[in-house]
Amino acid sequence: MKSQKFNQADTNLFNAKKNISNLVYLKFDISKIEIDIDSSIRHEYDPEKLQELAESIRTNNNELIQPIVISNIRNSGDYRVVAGRRRFLACRDILNLKTISAIVKNY
């Protein structure tokens, strides 16, 4: 596994580091993450299903079983959701969490 290098903005954003089965992910400030509204990914979700997802996350101590995947937006210190849009929305909009577990992938 290639080691991931983080810039200073990355270092300032995370407040926890976890390692599960050689998978390293960090806790990021959820306000620094945005959704790409111009992508071809669907934009509407069943509110009931989103609420069910939020309840599932809540029963796991507000922790995601699988972190979302984000990428750095032109080394700005802000990030965009690459995978896990529904999990992100459930954490941000329903649970009002301040941080979220994420893996950084720069493409």
pLDDT one-digit tens code per residue, 29-85: 999 999 877 665 667 889 999 999 999 999 999 999 999 999 888 878 889 999 999
Length of the chain: 107
pLDDT one-digit tens code per residue, 38-52: 665 667 889 999 999
